[in-house]
Amino acid sequence: TLEVELYSDADYAGSVEDRKSTTGFCVFVGGNLISWRSKKQGVVSRSSAESEYRAMAQTAAEMTWAKSMLSSLSVWIPLPMKMY
């Protein structure tokens, strides 16, 4: 079985120009990196908790994509998937 692990992080108001936060995440399947992203968030967060929550939501969407892609390849994924 292949274990899926996701790592998510965000800074808070890291852009000095517009005070927007940056989201970053990585998706590992069986210890191999299959997807990653670092992108400025589209809105200004009012707290670090909000920017982290937005990053987690984006990572959860990527988790759904990864599960769907692996299922279409007939790869069984044990649940729950781990997000850090």
Note the pLDDT of residue 6: 96
| Structure tokens, 25 | 């995440």
Domains: count for the chain = 1
Pairing of strands 4-10, 82-83: parallel
How many of the other CB atoms lie within 10 Å of CB of 64? 11
- The answer to whether residue 1 scores a pLDDT higher than 90 is no
pLDDT tens, position by position, 4-52: 999 999 999 999 999 999 999 999 999 999 999 999 999 999 999 999 9
CATH code for the domain in which residue 13 is found:
3.10.20
Q: What is the domain range of residue 55?
A: 4-83
Query: Quick one: pLDDT band at residue 2, thresholds 50, 70, 90?
Result: confident
33 by DSSP, 3-state: which? strand
Q: State the Cα–Cα distance between residues 55 and 62, nearest whole angstrom.
A: 11
